[in-house]
A and B are shown apart, each in its own frame.
Chain A
Amino acid sequence: MIKFKITQIAVVLMLVFLTGCFHSSVLERTSISVALGYDKMGEGKIQTSSVLYGPTSKEGKESSHVISVVGETSKGARQNLNHKLAFKVVSGQIRFIAYESELAEEGIISIVDTLSRDPSYGEMMYLSVTEKPIRDLFAYKYPNISNVGTYMSRLIAHNIQNSWVPSCTLHDFRNDYYSAGKEAVLPLVERTDKEVNVTALALFKKDVMIGKMQPKEAVYLKLLLDRDQPETIEVKMPKDGMAKYVRKVGHSFNYIKTALGNIGSHSSIKLISKDDLTFDVRIQLNVELQEVSEDYDFAEQGAVQQLETELSKQMSKDLVKMLNQLKRLNSDAVGFGEVYRSSVRNSALTKDKWQDMFQKATFNTAVHVNLIRTGTIE
């Protein structure tokens, strides 16, 4: 019995004292990196900038500081960060990674794969592209942003959830890059004066950035892509058939602009002819009207129906515009190739093969808007 007790005590003591014997990371003795940026520096050199947690001020406001180093490889540059820091850099808290567009135009897959190779990085960090050097975005002293690294990740996260930015995590990028029939998209971020914002989408062909897509079109891309749907959609359409429902106002107008709240949408893509590569693209939208630019009379007979048809017509047009842009740049960000691969037997589709085929694809689009309500007033 006594012997048994000694064993038990020994085990408990071991658990207490030996835990943490191995490889501990004390919070105060690490430099926690929260964001990374890669700039191109001359021939084959990469400048890595890192946003690090700084000491918390007395008022409890968090701070950050930025350091940049140059290296031959991204990982090498990151190692060089240690030369400028009192503590070892740890990367488990990195949430945001940005690439300068000059770098993105040459291909970034090797840097992206490096991130995925290292298990200390998360798979859910956001990637994005900047047009100006990232150092400029990170190092600027923003009056209202205490830590630009965490701010950027929150900015992207909520834009993915509520707005037109498609999901752009490390996993998404690699997923698209390695699939035969879909190309990656990343958001473009920029500093404009004292704030940062998401300005457009960077379209990719393999891992090379080949163009931009403006928010107006990006909404439609997002409608076709994600689980998360944009919350509001702005549509501008010619007044045509709706003019008669508008109560007379003093000024003359040619367009009616509306803002729609999206309360549930569904999209489907079907391949209807594998020889002509014709796709059927359908979007079904349930919306509520949030704003209309003219004094539209909803009480009148047929007014709502007219608005619905006009909206559907206009949105279908805009959708085609977006798809044509993708075709022109030859970047299948929607994933028509995946639809093709999954509907045609033994297609043996590869990325190169699909890039040739995508040029010839044609689309039948149909958007059906269902105006559920017009807010709390008519």
Chain B
Amino acid sequence: MDVRIKPRPNKMIQSFGLLFIICNVQIGIGVFGFQRYIAREAGHDAWIAVLLAGILSHLSGWMLIRVLRRYNSADLYGIHQDLFGRWVGGGLSILMMLYYVIVTVTILRTYIEAVQSWIFPEFPTWLLALVLLFLSWYAGISGLRVIVGVCFIGFCVMFAFSTLYYNPIQFAQWNRLLPIGEATPYQLLNGAVAMGFTLSGFEIVTYLYPYLNDKDKSQKYMQISLLLTNILYLFIIIVTTIFFSQDQLLRTVWSSLNMLKIVKYPFLERIEVLAMGVWMFAVVPGIIILTWVISRGLRRLFNFPHKKVLIVFSIFIYVVSLVFHNREQIDLLNSLISKVSLLISFVYPLFLYVTVAVVWWWRQHKQKKGEDELA
């Protein structure tokens, strides 16, 4: 396996596309109910915790792009091999792929669970999973450019729907935000940790980087997309805090949907049902990208053909997602994955950044030494 890959120009995308992909991976089903996990830790200062986690994500994203810049045109699978050798590096890559399998299952299952509790209680899990995975497979085999297109739709849907949160503001009690900064730094930190899973996903850029046409703009669009996500999350957490009373929020599983329950139009009384359905456009791109990343990995490591892998792999995810039956299991899955995602999105980039810096310094040092000896 080569460390660096040179995709054909007709497969490449503009850095601008990062905007849609990153936002879509970050904002998925999590946005429906992330608030109470943060409020449980940081109370009415939850927004500070969200802000804190957001700043950390900017830092983490910056480090990732710096690492990728050094390699010029490599993805994380290549970087692993370069840094840790074939076996250890490959092992790390496989771990990463396993992680994405679990994340995909989590997203899929959480969305289905939400649909079942909100709209169709008897809707069979297998049917919806089949539909969603078929969609993701269909987009996945068509290549990255189509994926960006799907992400664009998802992006528009998400930001269009967030304007609906203007309505709950009318019912707001602003003094719920006061007194500002009552939570201790420890509580805020816990809140930020709880935010980790919701924000995670942006490390996907490490697999997309070789496919970017104008790589010098990647940092800019990376930061803009992180900023957009953070603004959206900050907005939603503030609206949630002023809309719900504290205990009420802690009891609400899907607070974002609950807030839409008060939106009422003469021609459409229950907009949250619509939101739930349309949100599929925000959930599917996430699944598409993750499955794409995994099948890329299988291609890179084992040289499996992309298209065949994708279908085998979709079936695999389908089977795994049917294992889960009730909310308890899904909650367990979520809490498990949230801790790992924290490692992968926030700790691992730092580790990578430092390792790459050290290794490259060492290589240059050795090279220089060699040149000196020759001279």
Interface set of A (CB-CB < 8 Å, partner B)? 22-23, 92, 119, 122-124, 171, 174-180, 182, 227, 338-339, 342-346
Contacts and interface: CB of A to CB of B under 8 A. Distances in A.
B269 interface: yes
A123 B248 contact: no
Interface string B148-177: 000000000000000000000011010111
Contacts of B118: 119
Contact of B262 (A124, A339, A346): A124
B122 interface: yes
A23 B122 contact: yes
A178 B262 contact: no
B269 A122 contact: yes
A77 B262 CA distance: 27
Instruction: State the main secondary structure of chain B at its contact with A.
Output: loop
A38 B326 CA distance: 32
Given A123-B258, A124-B261, A182-B245, 7 more contacts: A22-B120, A22-B123, A119-B117, A171-B171, A178-B244, A178-B251, A179-B248
Contacts of B179: 342-345
Given A119-B117, A338-B173, A178 B178 contact: no
A122 B178 contact: no
Nearest to B273: A119
Interface string B228-272: 000000000000000011111001000000100110100001101
Interface in B176-209: 176-179, 182
Contact of B270 (A23, A122, A180, A344): A122
A32 to B, nearest CB: 13
Contact of A178 (B122, B173, B248): B248
Contacts of B182: 345-346
B59 to A, nearest CB: 30
Contacts of A227: 170
Nearest to A344: B179
Nearest to B171: A171
A227 B258 CA distance: 21
Contacts of B123: 22-23
A116 to B, nearest CB: 8
Contacts of B272: 119
B261 A179 contact: no
Sort chain B's interface into a size bin.
Answer: 20 to 34
Contacts of B173: 338
A122 B272 CA distance: 10
Nearest to B249: A178
B43 to A, nearest CB: 10
Contacts of A119: 117-119, 272
Contacts of A180: 245-247
Nearest to A335: B173
Contacts of B175: 338-339, 342
Contacts of A344: 179
A342 B170 contact: no
Contact of B246 (A23, A92, A174, A179): A179
B244 A343 contact: no
Nearest to B175: A342
Contacts of B178: 342-343
Contacts of A339: 175
A123 B120 CA distance: 18
Contacts of B248: 174-175, 177-179
A175 B176 contact: no
Given A122-B269, A338-B175, A344-B179, A23 B120 contact: yes
A176 B244 CA distance: 9
Interface centre among B117, B120, B122, B179, by most chain A C-beta atoms within 10 angstroms, is B179
Contacts of B171: 171
A342 B270 contact: no
A23 B127 CA distance: 14
Nearest to A269: B175
A255 B155 CA distance: 66
A108 to B, nearest CB: 16
Nearest to A171: B262
A22 B123 CA distance: 8
| Pairs A-B, 6 closest by C-beta atoms | A179-B245, A178-B247, A342-B178, A178-B248, A123-B261, A342-B175
A175 B262 contact: no
Interface centre among A175, A343, A346, by most chain B C-beta atoms within 10 angstroms, is A175
Contacts of A345: 179, 182
A123 B246 contact: no
A241 B177 CA distance: 46
Contacts of B177: 342
B327 to A, nearest CB: 13
